[in-house]
A and B are shown apart, each in its own frame.
Chain A
Amino acid sequence: MIHWPVAITGLGCICAAGGTVPDCLDSLYAGRRAPVPPTRFSTSHPTAFPVFEVRDFREPPELLRTSALGVQAAAEALADADLSPEELRGLRVGVCVGTTVGSALNDEGFCRAHRAGEEPDLFPMERILNSNPAAAIARAFGCTGPCQTVVNACASGTDAVGLAASWIRGGICDVAIAGGADELGRITYHGFISLMITDDSPCKPFDRDRKGLNLGEGAGMLVLESEQVRARRGARARSFVMGYGSACDAHHLTAPHPDGAGLRQAVAEALACCAVAAERVAFVNAHGTGTPDNDRVESRVLAELFPGVPYHSTKGHTGHTLGAAGGIEAVFTVACLERGVVPASAGFENVDPELAGEPLRGNREVAGDFALSQSLAFGGSNSVLLFGKGDAE
């Protein structure tokens, strides 16, 4: 069954690379990045692992930072789509958001106090229960359509965009706010350190000397719109969601399949469902976390499925923002396709002779009509989105 394209009419993003989409793009094209040891929380770990924090952002006390970041990116995306609150009220708007920490009953202070025999204030738990990311965005903008918080680990944001596109095609809603959001905290920080896949220096995706990932935080949101509503509003499509594929490795809880079986399947599905040939893909925004395993598997699959197609990882600019990554990278992929320039893969210097190829060394102009963004997650989930060029400006 061929899926018809779904228009993207608005983009929003907040992460370490910038507080808005234009700010982020400036950083990406200028190759700026500045990971530093965490400033928002303390650690007694002897090694200071750098992270990509969002500066100058303060969440309201009653909302989880994750959800506040999501609301902020959604507000930018809705403004970019020129959808006012009045306009939204007359439409059935769905919200589909990926996260890893945004809906987990996970609060260290609460647990510590409980373990110490105290009766801790329930506020941190109530805040989590009132901060479900999709529900929080729906509340902020009065969205009446379905709400879905996708918790597919590091592929969550990518899946959320693919699912929301399917909702629009299925007539389940007129407009969808879709993407991902995640905050950085002590729990994920120490969890990833314990897995021994974090780099104690700025991350170097696809580089010979890569040692692991740096964590990041932020949110990336897209506004998807039905053709009916778009025609009535005369809204310009910045891009289209063309295809989406996802597949399980069914291999291991934390390690990717060595041959990238699930990733291949997800790519094949994303291309097949819109009948776009692999040769027509202008560039790929790779998952490119900078861990030895991920980059090995991914570069191998890219070299085989997309020989000669330029690819980059933007995690050298944002860190790995986990559930937000798919949303943020979808925003970047769309914006770079629109501009026709792909930024260099930050952190890459030395070719790894064990990898099948290398990412972009410098910013590159591209002329094609399609671009791919891919995510590989814990649990062997692989998800891929194919974007197409939008209407002329």
Chain B
Amino acid sequence: MDTKEKLKQILVKDLNLEEVTPEEISDSAPLFGEGLGLDSLDAVELVVIVQKHFGVEIKDMEEGRKAFQSVDSLAAYIEERKGA
């Protein structure tokens, strides 16, 4: 399974996204605000999720903000650092 697919499944499960399936999440849609409707508490949860499932550390929210724009950007962020 590629990182994007895995990420979508984890998002739905760990953030308990009711009424959303992994397939419905588009790669480029914004995660926060209008897109998936995530908020600041989800953002910090996402930091833990990325650490837990991919072993990738997001040091602060400035870094997080860049990574969390979309599934695309987050997957790229993880790919870049995985195993680094």
A contact set with B: CB distance below 8 Å? 194-196, 252-255
Contact B41 A196 (CB under 8 A): no
CA distance A196 to B58 in the complex (A): 11
B80 within 8 A of A: no
16 residue pairs bridging A and B, Cβ less than 8 Å apart: A194-B44, A194-B48, A195-B44, A196-B44, A196-B47, A196-B60, A196-B61, A252-B39, A252-B40, A252-B41, A253-B41, A254-B40, A254-B41, A255-B39, A255-B40, A255-B41
Taking CB atoms, residues of chain A closer than 8 Å to B60 are: 196
The interface residues of chain A, by DSSP majority, are classed as: loop
What 5 A-B pairs have minimum CB-CB distances, sorted nearest first? A196-B44, A254-B41, A255-B40, A195-B44, A196-B61
A245 to chain B: closest CB distance in Å? 26
Given contacts A195-B44, A252-B41, A255-B40, 13 further A-B contacts (CB under 8 A): A194-B44, A194-B48, A196-B44, A196-B47, A196-B60, A196-B61, A252-B39, A252-B40, A253-B41, A254-B40, A254-B41, A255-B39, A255-B41
How many residues in B have their beta carbons less than 8 Å from beta carbons of A? 8
Taking CB atoms, residues of chain B closer than 8 Å to A195 are: 44
CA distance A344 to B75 in the complex (A): 47
The chain B residue sitting closest to A255, CB to CB, is: B40
CA distance A196 to B48 in the complex (A): 10
Count of chain A to chain B residue pairs whose CB atoms are closer than 8 Å in the complex: 16
A191 to chain B: closest CB distance in Å? 11
B8 to chain A: closest CB distance in Å? 23
B contact set with A: CB distance below 8 Å? 39-41, 44, 47-48, 60-61
Taking CB atoms, residues of chain B closer than 8 Å to A252 are: 39-41
The chain A residue sitting closest to B39, CB to CB, is: A252
Taking CB atoms, residues of chain A closer than 8 Å to B41 are: 252-255
The chain A residue sitting closest to B48, CB to CB, is: A194
Taking CB atoms, residues of chain B closer than 8 Å to A196 are: 44, 47, 60-61
A252 to chain B: closest CB distance in Å? 7
CA distance A254 to B48 in the complex (A): 17
CA distance A253 to B40 in the complex (A): 10
CA distance A343 to B48 in the complex (A): 39
B63 to chain A: closest CB distance in Å? 11
A109 to chain B: closest CB distance in Å? 23
A43 to chain B: closest CB distance in Å? 15
Counting chain B CB atoms within 10 Å of each CB, which of A195, A196, A252, A253 scores highest? A196
CA distance A356 to B41 in the complex (A): 26
Taking CB atoms, residues of chain B closer than 8 Å to A253 are: 41
Taking CB atoms, residues of chain B closer than 8 Å to A255 are: 39-41
Taking CB atoms, residues of chain A closer than 8 Å to B47 are: 196
CA distance A252 to B48 in the complex (A): 20
B64 to chain A: closest CB distance in Å? 8
CA distance A253 to B44 in the complex (A): 13
CA distance A253 to B42 in the complex (A): 11
Taking CB atoms, residues of chain A closer than 8 Å to B40 are: 252, 254-255
CA distance A254 to B40 in the complex (A): 8
Taking CB atoms, residues of chain B closer than 8 Å to A194 are: 44, 48
Taking CB atoms, residues of chain A closer than 8 Å to B39 are: 252, 255
The chain A residue sitting closest to B58, CB to CB, is: A196
CA distance A62 to B31 in the complex (A): 48
The chain B residue sitting closest to A292, CB to CB, is: B61
B46 to chain A: closest CB distance in Å? 11
The chain B residue sitting closest to A254, CB to CB, is: B41
CA distance A255 to B44 in the complex (A): 12
CA distance A251 to B47 in the complex (A): 23
The chain A residue sitting closest to B47, CB to CB, is: A196
B41 to chain A: closest CB distance in Å? 5
B59 to chain A: closest CB distance in Å? 9
A211 to chain B: closest CB distance in Å? 8
CA distance A195 to B41 in the complex (A): 8
CA distance A195 to B40 in the complex (A): 9
B56 to chain A: closest CB distance in Å? 14
